[in-house]
Amino acid sequence: MNLEIDGPTATIYLNRPDKKNAMNPQMHRDMNEALDAIEADRGVKVVVVTGNGDSFSAGMDLEECFLRPFEDPMEFYRTNEVALNWFKRLKAFPAVTVAKVNGFSFGGGVLLAGICDLAVASETALFGLSEINFGIFPAGGATWAAAHNLPRKQALYYILTGATFTGREAEAYGLVNKAVPLDELDAATDRIVRKLVNKNPVTLSLAKHVYEHNRATDLPAAIDYDQAKLWELSRLTGNEWVNVALKQFEKRSYQPGLSTYDRVEAKS
């Protein structure tokens, strides 16, 4: 079992601890199935991705995904397509995704931490874009993840040298939101999850979508997009922000600068 759903929170476990959670074809199929199951459960607002055992993920399984299928081009293509599919799905997932990086995170592991919306790591987690060490560049989205999560000089340094960096360094670069001692990793992740699950799921989903869209546009286009999406949000949420959140503010029942409105009063 690689998936647990507990109300608004789903946790996906990379589950090959004896192989440092290297992602083999079976794991890629399991991940697609886990995402299917989460999408089918409409109550999930937050997806935590973590590793069983002492690793987050040692990346793609170098033997099962690359070495063995390489001689048969179609087998190689199909094997890796399953992986690339769930990477793309996870990046665009409607629920908020949080990587909980508990140990080794190489290649595809860096990619996973990078494509999740948020990430928490143990201070001693070890990251690396090790591809250069076996003669390729980080492919399958890993260079994208480095370019979008690390400052340029650091991204190029790690891409070109294959050197490792710790969870504490990952926090300084911005690849993870927070690095904490390993024994505090669960609690630190839970604190973030708790801040998310009391928000409107449609708003969470649109907030991350608008962020990604607006990174790639100029300000006038971003403003137009914001306004259109705000009307979409209003319709999809039954105007919850005005009818519930701002009505509660009018009664001074909370301070939006410091906390969230009470969603129990909301219908959606």
Nearer to ligand ACO, 51 or 107 (CB): 107
Of the candidate spans 15-23, 32-40, 201-209, 246-254, the one that interacts with ligand ACO by CB under 6 A turns out to be 15-23
User: Candidates 14-22, 166-174, 175-183, 243-251 — which segment interacts with ligand ACO by CB under 6 A?
Assistant: 14-22
**Which stretch in 90-98, 105-113, 186-194, 242-250 sits in contact with ligand ACO by CB under 6 A?**
105-113
Spatial CB neighbours of 5, under 8 Å, sequence gap ≥ 6: 37, 38, 41, 44
Site string for ligand ACO, 53-82 (x = CB under 6 A): -----xxxxxx-------------------
Closest CA to 100 of 56, 150, 44: 56
Token pair, residue 268, equals: 């959606």
Distance in Å, CB of 118 to ligand ACO, minimum: 21
Half-sphere exposure of 14 (CA within 13 A, CB side): 33
> Whole-number minimum distance, CB 22 to ligand ACO, in Å?
3
Q: Residues 209-248 vs ligand ACO: string with x where CB under 6 A?
A: ----------------------------------------
Q: Closest Cα partner for 235 from 188, 202, 197?
A: 202
Q: Which residues of 106-118 are buried (b: 16+ CB within 10 A; e: fewer)?
A: bbbbbbbbbbbbb
Least distance in Å: CB of 253 to ligand ACO? Answer: 49
Near ligand ACO by CB under 6 A: residue from 13, 87, 104, 127: 104
Using rule CB under 6 A, residue 19 touches ligand ACO: yes
> What are the helix (H) ranges across 51-184?
73-91, 108-115, 142-149, 152-161, 167-173
Q: Taking CB positions, which residue lies at the least distance from ligand ACO?
A: 107
Find tokens 């969230």 and name the residue. Answer: 260
Of the candidate residues 9, 12, 20, 99, the single one contacting ligand ACO (CB under 6 A): 20
Give the shortest CB-167-to-ligand ACO separation in angstroms: 15
| Chain centroid to CA 5 | 16
Q: Which stretch binds ligand ACO (CB under 6 A): 42-50, 84-92, 100-108, 195-203?
A: 100-108
Phi-psi category of residue 13: left, alpha or beta, with phi > 0 → left and psi -120 to 50 → alpha? beta
Instruction: Return the bridge partners of 98, or none.
Output: 48, 118
How far apart CA 168 and CA 189 sit, in angstroms, is 16
Q: Comparing C-alpha atoms, which of 188, 59, 190, 180 is closest to residue 124?
A: 180
List the interface residues with ligand ACO, window 107-136 (CB under 6 A). 107-108, 130-131
Q: Which two tokens stand for residue 15?
A: 């589950």
Only one of the segments 19-27, 34-42, 115-123, 229-237 lies at the binding site for ligand ACO (rule: CB under 6 A); that segment is 19-27
Would you tell me which residues interact with ligand ACO (CB under 6 A)? 19-20, 22, 58-63, 104, 106-108, 130-131, 140
